[in-house]
Structure 1
Amino acid sequence: MRRPSLHSERLLLRPLDKSDAPSIEAICSQRAVSENLANVPYPYPDGGAQDWLDREAKGLAGINMAITHEGDLIGLIGIKASSERTIGDFVPSIGYWLDLPFWGKGYMQEAVSRLLDWYMPHEPTERIRASVFEDNSRSLNVLQKLGFCEIGRDEGYSIARGTQSPQINLELTANRYKEAMQ
């Protein structure tokens, strides 16, 4: 799928570039960012962003986009195919992170909304999922404001935390998203 640049009121979501590696490493090297993610180590390894960008460029990491504000990369957002497909059931999941100075200012809700506005009409899915660690109330709030509803709880492993942590699993249907955006 071709990834366009997506504009919102304050942000530009754009395809990733190899030049994004230093910014990705700097942001993911912050413990507060990495510990809210399942697959990001802490401390973040030198060269880790370039390795990830190489996999992403080959299509092995889903659909990922840089979140930029005034030309600077401030986060990432992405959608990946479900790893738990059942016959006829395609349920992708969304994930994201944001640099600390931009927390609590509505940037992530703006970015998620913009990506979903583009993605949902073009893909053969009626729903999308997300998981957040229970202690990540900011992310949970973003998703709930956009119409995501809890579908269960379990534990997920965080590489940065080095342990299993309680998580909340959420799902958004296309109809609930339309209703939330009206």
Structure 2
Amino acid sequence: MKIPALKSNRLLLRSLQPEDAAAIEAQLSEPMANPGLARALHPDSQGHAAEWISAQATGTHGIALAITEGDRFLGTIGLEPSTLRSIGIFAPTIGYWLGAPFWGKGFMQEAVRCLLDWYLPFEPTERIGTSVFEANTRSLKVLEKLGFREVERGSTYSQLLGKELPDIKLELTAQRYYEAI
């Protein structure tokens, strides 16, 4: 499926390009740039961003888009297909990260809203899930403002930190999303 470029007031969400690899590696190599990511490229991962971009282009991993403002690469956002399709649950998972220089400016809430505004009418689903480390209060605020609600607490292994961390699983229903916006 070809994903169109999605525009919001300030942002463009577009397909990842090979030239985005350098920006991804630079932003994720900053000390503690994204401690909230369960799966992340590590500072010594030269070349892994290009491999990841190439894998995303196949579409088998879901939707992955670059978040940009003008010519600036800010981060990525995407939706992974449900891992529970075999039992009839079609709930994709949303994930994202933003380079540290762009935190606290409302970019992520704008990007998530832009993706959901496009996706929900296009592919109606009963819910969308996500998981956030308990300490990632910024991400929790973004999600709660958009109507995501906590459904479970547990733990997830952080590749970046090399240990299990407490996490919160959240869900969004289309009805709650439309009520929140």
**Contact 1:43/1:160 (CA < 8 Å) preserved in 2?**
no
**Contact 1:7/1:13 (CA < 8 Å) preserved in 2?**
yes
The 1:28–1:60 alpha-carbon spacing in structure 2 relative to 1, beyond 3 Å, is farther
Q: Which residue does the alignment assign to 1:126?
A: 126
Where does structure 1 lack aligned partners over 5 or more consecutive residues?
Answer: none
Q: Which residue does the alignment assign to 1:74?
A: 74
Q: Distance in 1 between matches of 2:74 and 2:82?
A: 26
Q: Distance in 2 between matches of 1:44 and 1:138?
A: 26
**Contact 1:127/1:173 (CA < 8 Å) preserved in 2?**
yes
Structure 1 vs Structure 2 CA RMSD? 1.2
Q: Which residue does the alignment assign to 1:141?
A: 141
TM-score, structure 1 length as denominator? 0.95
Q: Distance in 2 between matches of 1:41 and 1:50?
A: 11
The one-letter code of the counterpart of 1:19 is E
Q: Distance in 1 between matches of 2:27 and 2:60?
A: 22
Q: Distance in 1 between matches of 2:62 and 2:107?
A: 22
**81-90 or 11-20: bigger deviation:** 81-90
Q: Secondary structure at the match of 1:9?
A: coil
The 1:31–1:61 alpha-carbon spacing in structure 2 relative to 1, beyond 3 Å, is farther
**Contact 1:34/1:41 (CA < 8 Å) preserved in 2?**
no
**168-177 or 61-70: bigger deviation:** 61-70
Q: Secondary structure at the match of 1:2?
A: coil
Give the superposition deviation at 1:43. 2.6
Give the superposition deviation at 1:36. 1.1
Moved over 6 A (4+): none
Q: Distance in 2 between matches of 1:108 and 1:75?
A: 9
Q: Distance in 1 between matches of 2:11 and 2:37?
A: 22
Give the superposition deviation at 1:86. 4.6
Q: Distance in 1 between matches of 2:161 and 2:85?
A: 28
Q: Distance in 1 between matches of 2:13 and 2:109?
A: 13
Give the superposition deviation at 1:19. 1.0
Give the superposition deviation at 1:61. 2.7
Q: Which residue does the alignment assign to 1:59?
A: 59
Q: Which residue does the alignment assign to 2:166?
A: 166
**37-46 or 138-147: bigger deviation:** 37-46
**84-93 or 153-162: bigger deviation:** 84-93
Q: Distance in 1 between matches of 2:105 and 2:171?
A: 24
Aligned pairs, number: 181
Percent identical residues: 53
Q: Which residue does the alignment assign to 2:117?
A: 117
Q: Which residue does the alignment assign to 1:42?
A: 42
Q: Which residue does the alignment assign to 2:94?
A: 94
Where does structure 2 lack aligned partners over 5 or more consecutive residues?
Answer: none
Q: Distance in 1 between matches of 2:61 and 2:87?
A: 22
The 1:74–1:44 alpha-carbon spacing in structure 2 relative to 1, beyond 3 Å, is farther
Q: Distance in 1 between matches of 2:29 and 2:61?
A: 20
**Contact 2:56/2:64 (CA < 8 Å) preserved in 1?**
yes
Q: Secondary structure at the match of 1:32?
A: coil
